[in-house]
Chain A
């Protein structure tokens, strides 16, 4: 659009800044065909808001422990600084450094460090600087970055009242950059970027928090929580504060905390310089370093020589492994009855595989889950029924005529109708009231099933997780995925697990049963379907604990049975073959008198199995499950699992599908002259070996192109020389192919190129 508008004598490329177009969501959502989309979108938003807060809470919970430790360490640093007696600590000149081993799930680190930063700011000291990996390749840049961060932060926190309306609506992350670029900031601190070095920082720090100006240090930024913390840290701290000469109510000087997010990727030379500099400024600045490491502490030694590490006083903190994080998340989000949207087996497996096999990233997992949700609401009209168990009646009663009509057109509704009793079937097609009623009852049933299913699965998991070879999986998610794909009670692994359970010793069984019983206790309070199971298990646990009482009763019965037992000799015929004898003996041994424990065990397992069979069935067999379950793997894969090479190759082999034109339709191997040049060239080069002769290639290309021209006339004369146009087209196609990375030039043979793909 730009070239014609610009009037200029000289030739050139002109950049026109386009307007930033915001996508109007109504254009997307309000499709003429699908009227319910808007309603579903609001539904999606509500559910996602809910989930999002849950996820946030989960996140802060999980890192809570390690952050608490870290903060305790950091606030404990430099405690003896001001006390005059401890000369050694001062002279030793070690920078306290917390090494935070974060694990390799790199995409998540950003969130983690953002949390850490805000926690440090609120609880320890307002002076926190965060350094990413890539931005600093020179020591001066690194220093000015850190100093700018430190000085700006306190500026905003001190003059928050003034700045509130200026920078109030900016995000906290943007604040520092926004403030530093605004003219207001320049007026306050006339320090140019060039002059931002540690000396400036020292001066500034002295001025702000120095002992010489008590009035200023009293107004030093200090959140009430920090003051609380200071009080908590005990008498030692308080005494020390009093001991300082002018310490009447003067707060402790805030620490200077510098967080390196990814030490492995920091330029080692710069990092070494930085540490030795920090060390030389340690007497005037209470610096604490926090070093984030993805792999292991040994990485530090790969980066730093011993002269530098001897300046550090490190303490290690290990973040919990990502897989634990995942199971935590899945327990709360994916595998609970409360969250209405569920993942179907295929999508569930896909997300899980992506996490475990590829990236270990919780962030990606959550995003993928969110995508699945939005896709579910966007593409499935039935998802209008997706809601919590309590709202089912309301939602179904709110369905409009049009929505019901839409629903009736769906395939899943048809199968739903077929599952209903025959006398209502016809009504379902016409009578709205009946339809609503039946929809509501079906959905309630689905929710009820979920409420039963999950506790029952957990119960089974408790029992089976300790079995040898883990037939039902170590993790709950394995059992759940089995449940989604098949009927658990019919599966082989379930049978195997039961066999193992039959062989369990008294101690193990009673322990496992007690644990399982505990898992069942809470949900069974409100759910009458679970209660019989719970009560029965409780009884069994009791009986296992008091086995000897049972023994006495049993013995009496046994005495009677023994009386009419048959002596051994009678069973055995006089002459038998060996294998017959073997069989006989085996059958006898199985008939052998069982101990009371074995009997009880048998009874327990029979009872449990009947209960589990009742409670655990695959939810995907229930009618209308499509409302809750999202199982469209193709859609997710297309969006989330990028396979650039595959799609490029497919585009080149089957251009018709992409261009949507009739003339290019052919199968994978056919080469049509109507195809784009690059496709022809690509298909031709597939027939060659490692090295492709350019001239032969050109000839083949020309043959195909010209074959189209003289289809009618059978002029078999050899083309003398390809025309300039054809050559140009060929060269262009070849260079396009090179650009895509399929070939490259080689020096091994003249007029040849190398193939790069197979």
Chain B
């Protein structure tokens, strides 16, 4: 049984198709990335899954429970960390977590609340009013709220937006450990290096449609062409290589490289022109290259 199953989900706001005939299955235990530019439909898709928005058509289920017809079971199976930094100013951190536990039907949750407070480094702030917390601390409370009912599926909607490096690293260590203990993680982020490092599989959305869906390693293999960065003395590129030039940045000529076998003929042309290569960088293709190329093609 997939952790998340989406069949032909559609959601339209006025004339805007926010989610357009999306089909997607995420298996239990996956660390799944949902990427796309602003307005691609990532948050709407998450809202459809979590019940914050109702689909116009299609079926969405979490752990086999339809999010509309069996909304109670579906919501018990998912914890959502929202993108916005929202909080209830009337309550302390502990009260917020107790209230959230109660919403999920849990009356005695003290032990688990203590554990997540400890693991998110919030114990010292447990009895502090939410208003008095820093942005990073509020973000941690949002994560704690999503975990109070121990959901098998956790959806994180840009959880590291505006978060400092230290918290980001501790947050990912925590989310990784949750994934290793069997939780299915769905992540949206604008930090593509995070997605590349964490996600086993990635879907890319654009204009409400999935335009790419594959494992992270397969996506990296599809990277459009390699590049070589050369620093030359004198800083002139032979005319015969002008067609390969992508850009000239920080003293480096960035040249298109279809295959590694093209490298030697390229260097030969440079030598024949009496130009010396003083530095050479062969950058590894990263998810950002793949992302940019896929978005450009669509």
Answer yes or no: are A and B bound together in one complex: no
> Which residues of A approach B to under 8 Å, CB–CB?
none
